[in-house]
Structure 1
Amino acid sequence: MPTSDTQRPANTEGPVAASPAPQMAGAAATSEASSLSPAHGPRQRVAWVDTAKGITMFLVFFGHLNATWFPALASTIGVIFLFHMPAFFVLSGIFFRPGGSFVRLVKHRAWQLLVPYYAFSLLLLGQTLGKNVVPAFYAGRPGREGTLGQDVVAIILNTTDGLWFLWSLFTASLLLWCIVRVCGERFLIPIALALLVADAALRHVLTRPLPFSLNQVLGSTAYVALGFACRKVLLALTRRRAAWLALASTVVFAGLAWLSMLPAVSARWMVASAVSILASLFGTGMLLGFSRLLPALRPVTFVGRATLIYYSLNDIVLKACKLVVFKLSPVASAALPAFGQFAEGLLVTLFAMALVGLLVPLLKRYLWWAVGLPGPQRWGRK
């Protein structure tokens, strides 16, 4: 690498390219683990990318409302799950840099992703501890059964459903580094598409989770590779091209989402996998196109700059907020009409995200190591 990581803006690779000034938000800011971006060192923020991350995080919260509590939202949640996590991997790939040594990448990504994973995973032990301390409170309530020892082992090996994205992005970053070093960048897009096909086949054969989310590494690497391969085009995206991207992607994605719900499609795994892959790609294109068109609203970009914290806390905070709203609501959420369930789900989502927003500056200042930062951040620092 001709220059050190700290000498480059995040939106350039190799020779320094012209900076897309209209898309930049402010001067260079310290790189944060909460961006869920593999970039090293200081980088400039791209406003519409932060907007895209903020919107995607809203979809993560809304998608985790649980169709058991909001049955009328089952189809909506299913559509969200078609593309919201692939979009996060693509957004992370935009700022991936394969320069530097493999050992340095491992150290940097472990601090940025694995330390937060294990720090926040301790919260997953709360329910197990609660069952041992106050078993009467949890009697008859749904939840995963397991001893404290089993839960600790599951967290260490990352075989739980919680925070899988962090381990998956870590392994994807390492695998992509190897691919770029061996194959270069010329064939990244066909390699990524081949990885998506291989991922679909692996998921069909292997249904049990592997340690450290290894059963998802092919798909996650593919999406990060696509973001990296398309980074120059995306960072130079004009509003006119973004409008066409949003329009075309929305039309195609709507058709694919409809197909994904047909029993005849879901019954054939190869067809279902093809529809799912295409839906993830066009859904991501839809999200990126609209994000480029939208104004940089501060609440949305705030979330986009702190996505690691929002992602790490979304499950436990959502559960707490659902309990509060359900206690205050005179009617059970499942008994409400579809519009009522949507309104209540939206209220819970915004309530939970606002609560996490209050915690963001506290965590950055006093638990900076738990969110992958190199040091404490002062109040008001971006």
Structure 2
Amino acid sequence: MMKLRFFYVFAMCMTVLFSTSCTKDMEYKDVQVSPVTQLYEPTDGQSVTLVASSTASLFFEWAAAKAEDSGSPLYEVVFDKEDGNFTNPIYRVVADNNGVRNYATITHKVLDKIGKAAGINGGETGTVKWTVVASRGLNSAMATEARTLTITCLKGFTELPNQVYLTGEATEGGTDIAQAVPCSMPNELGVFEVFTKLEEGKSYRLVDNNSADAKSYYINESGVIIEGQGETTVNKGGVYRIVLDFTTASVKMTEIQSMGFFFCPSNEVTFELPYKGNGVFEGEDLIEFKQESWGRDQRYKFLMTYADGTTQMWGTKNTTDSAPGEAAADDPYFYIAETPNNQWDQKWKLNNEFDGAADGANPGAVTRISVIFSGDNYTHHVELVK
């Protein structure tokens, strides 16, 4: 019995002793941190013109702070309006590597948000102030200096859509968003293009996908793309070439009057390719190659005429001086691109089977031409009707 009491008292004493020891060892110590004393990059008053690129960035760097316990401080770059004092910063950016590094790589997309938070409108230039806050635990210290940065904000959107569609009563797909008309992005990130028919007096909007949760945009009366639930009414119906530049929030709409098969030897359009729908212009006719001293000439291109009377040649995207032979319909040989308006440059050659002249390889043959403005590469198809 005495032994049991002894072990009980001993266990209680050890528990109290261990608890007291842990309390002392685990006692929180309020670690002090020194302020950053020097900012390195960017230089004071530096200017930056922002670009709509996912990789564009600006490098910020400063002298390291010191913590009382010799640990690593954490850093934030803080921004304020030009006349602010950082008591209520407009934006904070954690330094690289989750705040551990004494530098930060800040993307132009984030800088655009900072500029607009400071009241700088799209495409305009203004100045913000920045400094660095070092922290360790609950303590923090603001740098002993601050600098200014002059920002020219993006004219367009900070977040560029990956895809754009047209939907609404005025469009070929109607109000069913699942049938929305897709745009192409043939040349530049954030710049979309579509060849499509719009109905007069009806409206449409832009969306970033063809599902119910799509983000919406509309074009206002000044021709500026606005994010939101508005719609745009078509003043004049017709077939249009529409360029939607989200990097500048701008729109260019050009009405297309006609599209034609341009036969180089004749230096003229020999038959029209009416608009069929879904970005396709299609027509058919008998093609007569031109007899020359060296053989039969079968070179061709396409000529688009706009409603204002201006024209645009479309020729081969991949320079060639031969016929396609056995090339498949999706071969890059058939890809098309805008070309200079002249008779011979960047043309294709037809295979002999499309020579429907009386003295040609296939007398009476009728050829169907389809020019397709959709997808990553605009292209065209050539086939015999009979």
- Normalising by structure 2, we get a TM-score of 0.19
TM-score w.r.t. length of structure 1: 0.19
Name the larger-Rg structure. Answer: 2
Identify, as 1 or 2, the structure richer in helix: 1
